[in-house]
Every structure is written in C-alpha cells, then in structure tokens.
C-alpha cells in the first residue's frame, strides 16, 4: 500500500541529491521499505526501530524540522511526514534527512574569509580621515539598524550631524569623501550640516562626542 508514495520519495531525493537521504518506513511492520541516497548506511528491509506506540498511528502528521546526527556524528536537519491510506489510517512515515554538515563547512569557510582575525592596526589609520568616516558611517548604520540604500533624507541629515559631532569634517577633503559615500554633492553635505545645526542635532552630537 506504500507503493503509491514511492514516486514522491524518488522526486524529493532527485531534487535534493546528494544532500538529502529520503526514507519510507512501514509502521505496521517497523521496516524500511524504500531509501534513496542512503548515507546513513541503512538499507531496505532494515528495522525502522520506531516501536509500536499508539502515537505512531494517532499523532500529528508532520514532525519538525528537527536536528539529528548521522552515524559519523555530522549534523542532520530532518522532517518527518505521516503517510495514510484512503481510510486515513497511518501506514507509513516519510523521513527527509538533510546533510547540513557541508553547509556548516561552507559557512565556516565564508566566516573565515570575511572575519578579521585581529584588531585593526591603529598607527596605520590614525590620520586617515577617510577610513575614520567609513567606520563611523558603519557604526551609525549599525546603531540605527538601517542600510544606506534605505535611509531617508532625515536619516542622512542625522548621519551628517553624527559625523560632524565627532569632528570628522575638520579635515580638508572630508566633506568630499562623505558626499561620495552618500552619493550626493558636497553642496548637499553642507546643506544638511546647516539643517542639522538649525535643528539642534549638531550640538547634541558634539555633546555626545565629548
């Protein structure tokens, strides 16, 4: 009676190959009746080891996603679905075990590439106002939890006030660099500075900087 579910298991396995093992269990006989991409080293006719508890026939239809471990200790992300006959009786279970160990390794590799292993060498950047402006812009965006592309005019005025409050426009060429970073003209930067002064934002930033 589980034969009708075999194409479903085969299709899921084909889509996720080679990263997912797909298993169909016969809950009536506690046996594996089909398995694709068997990296757990189980085979057809192996015991399912599900037991014969009442929950196997009356419990909910979907479990997970939940975490498991493969025979070698590597992490699996799994989901289980009940298979029922026309009368609504549970006759089998479909399990999909996604091998996320490869993704864990990829994430670790990406983190190693984008994470600086040590502190920034301050003597190299102490007099580089451009780098200081870049870091201060990043600091502002983090504090406001906003991306540059999503900033409104009010946000940009506040950012300019934030930079000025830290004295970053005192260096020659700083306004030009800030204008390039925000994609506006130097005149716009000065206009926003004037707006910030008029709104009292700049005085607040100076006080915060001290």
d(CA 81, CA 112): 37
What is the pLDDT, as a whole number, of residue 58?
Answer: 63
Q: Which position has the higher pLDDT, 172 or 38?
A: 38
Residues in the chain, total: 210
Q: What is the 3-state secondary structure (H, E, C) of 35-95?
A: EECCCCCCCCCCECCCCCCCHHHHCCCEEEEEEEECCCCCEEEEEEEEEECCCCCEEEEEE
Rounded CA-CA distance 6/32 in Å is 12
- Please work out, in degrees rounded to the nearest 5, the angle formed at the alpha carbon of residue 34 by the alpha carbons of 28 and 36: 145
Mean pLDDT within 13-38? 94
Q: What is the pLDDT of residues 78-97, one digit of tens each?
A: 999 999 999 888 899 999 99
Sorted by where each begins, the domain ranges of the chain are 3-104, 118-209
Separation CA 114–CA 90 (nearest Å): 48
Look up residue 88 and give its two tokens.
């609504």
The answer to whether residues 71 and 63 touch, using CB atoms and an 8 Å cutoff, is no
Number of helices followed by number of strands (H, E) in the chain:
9, 5
pTM: 0.61
Q: What's domain 3-104's superfamily in CATH?
A: PAS domain (3.30.450.20)
pLDDT confidence of residue 34: 97
Ranges 11-25, 33-47, 117-131, 163-177: which has the least confidence: 117-131
Average pLDDT of the chain is 86
């Amino acid at each position: 009676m589980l034969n009708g579910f075999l194409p479903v298991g085969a299709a899921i396995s084909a889509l996720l190959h080679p990263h997912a093992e797909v298993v169909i269990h016969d809950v009536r006989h506690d046996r594996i009746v089909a398995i694709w991409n068997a990296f757990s080293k189980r085979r057809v006719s192996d015991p399912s080891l599900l037991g014969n508890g009442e929950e196997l026939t009356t419990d909910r239809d979907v479990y997970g996603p939940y975490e498991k471990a493969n025979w070698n200790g590597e992490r699996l992300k799994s989901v289980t679905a009940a298979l029922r006959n026309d009368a609504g009786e549970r006759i089998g279970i479909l399990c999909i075990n996604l091998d996320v160990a490869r993704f864990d390794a990829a994430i670790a590799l990406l983190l190693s590439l984008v994470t600086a292993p040590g502190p920034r060498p301050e003597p190299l950047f102490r007099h580089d106002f451009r780098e200081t402006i870049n870091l201060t812009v990043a600091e502002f965006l983090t504090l406001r939890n906003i991306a540059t592309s999503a900033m409104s005019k009010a946000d940009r005025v506040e950012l300019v006030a934030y930079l000025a409050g830290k004295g970053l426009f005192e260096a020659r060429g700083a306004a030009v660099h800030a204008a390039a970073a925000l994609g506006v003209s130097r005149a716009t930067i000065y206009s926003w500075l004037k707006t910030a002064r008029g709104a009292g934002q700049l005085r607040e930033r100076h006080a915060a900087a001290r």
